[in-house]
Structure 1
């Protein structure tokens, strides 16, 4: 009886997860939801059969994870059945390095008319784009946090487009100046991330919306899983991306009547831009030590902050450099007749979201802690408290042993 009851509850849990997943996907995919519906129902039927065999719970969980990974995997777009690129204009922000730089080259090669924004026209990234790409590509010097730069970019783009609208805006520019725990992160770090990742993206999106509405075009935004998942030591960066995600999702609803499709891409961890520069992490470490309050530094300890710097640098150094998965996803979002609302681009991203969405919080928290920043050193104050606790416990044990020994002696004396 107990075995049957356990099987029943496993069955109910699995079916609830997958039926909920079906409903969730259908509601999120307000366009062409049939492929998602078929895939989830097929997975549901398969696991329902597994449950009837009374398989152990861990096998069911493995099946869930495998189904999630298969579902979230994305292939390169089939250009034969995609929208034509000729005559379509795309503006991409943050093309000095990283995703934006590679995407600008790729979209130019596909025949798009590309407007690539960079921070420095004389920089190596801008020069390479001008040297290697076709005459269709235009490089614009734009700091998206400066309204005058954004307005000038709009004027230059309009002048070149003429009466034609803008097919797509790819919001790629971003910044991560966060370093360490939320309490240790400087207020300037929070403001810096918000200024670029949220307000900068907000500014350029609002400026170019009339051109996008005119073309019934698309907005593709490169966000981050840290905007949805509580990664340790990424509070400033994650908060800015969370604000960005909410803005973009709200915009998606509001622009639907205009025929503008809005997509968010959640990439995995890749080694791009400053993240691959060890001097960057050294500079961040130095700035933090110079500006943190003495009392806070005493409570956490320099060795704790030093370990965080080393973990960040190590994580960046081991991250993959091949960004083709992200670039393929950007292309798919631009040329697909029915782009998805959200894409996961990178190994393991779909699994992270699955664990965060469907498993208990305690398990998902442990998963993120083990996945990203594996801290070994405790803050100095906690180490002191633990040491005092051990000493106190040791003294109590000694006292108890002495009392026990004394009682035994008394018993022996009494027997004599």
Structure 2
């Protein structure tokens, strides 16, 4: 009896150590450890089963030890590649990830070409002030083919016979909020024009220079391009198209020696995300352009709540962009860059749940993580009200029928 108890507590201790270590590893990594975690959890179950079937605890532990020996340990990371003499082109450097990345890569010794929408804007002026003479500012709207061509020609002129080591596709926009049915077609087209077609056009234009140097393509995407975030259909659809294009490109460029990475950041305060005036303008524009019938079915109070939820979510976004900038730098200087980088708190856990848990659990987690709507569309409120009234009338009818039946039965 004592031997059985001892075996039980030893096995429980081993399982606790394995599960605790696996969870700690999952939270500390960017999902690259997910297969190992799954294997460790599987072995935990195996050890527990072996012990419950009467196998000696030491035999179970020996099996576990043999398995752990087969798992390759973490190999020492190779030194980063040199940056001297290498050039990187970054889109969308007026603010946010692009501006901060331009500063970091310039400080690392790269020759940086930073595209901005406004050469006289605050972001461009700050880059000129804090960066070295290696930095070149280029005015470029990625939705304008002529401006892309001009930017390419200017980059070629400065590079001479050299190729381009890195292209960082950062420029993007989120021009809407709200349900898929409520999103205007202009919002869908606007997101696709910038996030997909604009990035596609830039990538195709600069790709020969990247192939020439067997360099890198790094693209800032979004988890909403792979997971159904409520109220982000237009933005998510554009990022989904971008993800598929970049992944296809990754396979096609492998023979050329070009490495392609995608970065999936969590919520950060970039661009217009924390500009409440911008969201107010979007809200008023939506109300003015919705069909009257649709506006009546959903109701202004429903859309007002959505706007307020977006603003509240924007307040919780992280201001420190370091996790994303670190992944951009790693994708450019690592001898073996990752195909996917999960940048920021909670993103790795979210993808782990999305990939390994039932869909119902993933959906519940996503809804609690993002916007938590409480207001129902006006038409649904009316339907529920009518249903309740109908049920109440039916109950009254049933009660009246019962009373009549009792009277008839009593002979009165």
TM range (shorter): 0.7 to 0.9
Structure 1 length normalisation: TM-score? 0.83
User: Partner residue of 1:250?
Assistant: 248
Q: Deviation of residue 161 (structure 1)?
A: 0.8
Residues 135-165 of structure 1 deviation map (CA, whole Å, 9 limit, x = unaligned): 1111111100000110111111111111110
User: Partner residue of 2:107?
Assistant: 109
In structure 2, the CA distance between the partners of 1:47 and 1:128, relative to structure 1 (3 Å rule), is: farther
| Residues 1:201 and 2:199 aligned together | yes
In structure 2, the CA distance between the partners of 1:167 and 1:39, relative to structure 1 (3 Å rule), is: farther
Q: Distance in 2 between matches of 1:409 and 1:377?
A: 46
Structure 1, 125-134 or 368-377: larger mean CA deviation: 368-377
Residues 8-59 of structure 1 deviation map (CA, whole Å, 9 limit, x = unaligned): xxxxxxxxxx9xxxxxxxxxx9xxx9x88766644543454356678xxxxx
Residues 220-263 of structure 1 deviation map (CA, whole Å, 9 limit, x = unaligned): 00000000001110000000000000000000011000000000
User: Partner residue of 1:354?
Assistant: 352
User: Partner residue of 1:367?
Assistant: 365
Q: Distance in 1 between matches of 2:79 and 2:38?
A: 24
Q: Deviation of residue 317 (structure 1)?
A: 1.2
Q: Deviation of residue 315 (structure 1)?
A: 0.5
Q: Deviation of residue 355 (structure 1)?
A: 1.8
User: Partner residue of 2:335?
Assistant: 337
User: Partner residue of 2:258?
Assistant: 260
Q: Distance in 2 between matches of 1:141 and 1:154?
A: 11
Mapping 1:217-366, distance limit 5 Å? 217-366=215-364
In structure 2, the CA distance between the partners of 1:347 and 1:333, relative to structure 1 (3 Å rule), is: same
Q: Deviation of residue 359 (structure 1)?
A: 2.0
3-state SS, counterpart of residue 305 of structure 1: helix
Cα RMSD for the two superposed structures: 2.1
User: Partner residue of 1:388?
Assistant: 386
Q: Distance in 1 between matches of 2:286 and 2:35?
A: 49
Match of 2:208 among 203, 207, 210: 210
Q: Distance in 1 between matches of 2:194 and 2:149?
A: 16
In structure 2, the CA distance between the partners of 1:38 and 1:233, relative to structure 1 (3 Å rule), is: closer
List runs of 5+ in structure 2 lacking aligned partners.
1-21, 23-30, 53-75
List runs of 5+ in structure 1 lacking aligned partners.
1-17, 19-28, 55-76
In structure 2, the CA distance between the partners of 1:299 and 1:121, relative to structure 1 (3 Å rule), is: same
In structure 2, the CA distance between the partners of 1:51 and 1:81, relative to structure 1 (3 Å rule), is: farther
In structure 2, the CA distance between the partners of 1:196 and 1:50, relative to structure 1 (3 Å rule), is: farther
In structure 2, the CA distance between the partners of 1:49 and 1:272, relative to structure 1 (3 Å rule), is: farther
Q: Distance in 1 between matches of 2:42 and 2:161?
A: 50
Q: Distance in 1 between matches of 2:250 and 2:90?
A: 19
In structure 2, the CA distance between the partners of 1:191 and 1:52, relative to structure 1 (3 Å rule), is: farther
Structure 2 length normalisation: TM-score? 0.83
In structure 2, the CA distance between the partners of 1:380 and 1:84, relative to structure 1 (3 Å rule), is: same
Do the aligned partners of 2:34 and 2:352 also contact (CA within 8 Å) in 1? no
Residues 325-350 of structure 1 deviation map (CA, whole Å, 9 limit, x = unaligned): 11111111111100111111111111
3-state SS, counterpart of residue 320 of structure 2: coil
Q: Distance in 1 between matches of 2:211 and 2:185?
A: 37
Q: Deviation of residue 368 (structure 1)?
A: 1.4
| Residues 1:163 and 2:161 aligned together | yes
Q: Deviation of residue 403 (structure 1)?
A: 1.6
Larger radius of gyration: 2
User: Partner residue of 2:80?
Assistant: 82
3-state SS, counterpart of residue 324 of structure 2: helix
Q: Distance in 1 between matches of 2:118 and 2:287?
A: 30
Q: Deviation of residue 171 (structure 1)?
A: 0.3
Q: Distance in 1 between matches of 2:41 and 2:340?
A: 21
Q: Deviation of residue 409 (structure 1)?
A: 3.3
User: Partner residue of 1:58?
Assistant: none
Q: Distance in 2 between matches of 1:181 and 1:394?
A: 33
User: Partner residue of 1:189?
Assistant: 187
User: Partner residue of 1:378?
Assistant: 376
User: Partner residue of 2:7?
Assistant: none
Match of 1:145 among 138, 143, 146: 143
3-state SS, counterpart of residue 161 of structure 2: coil
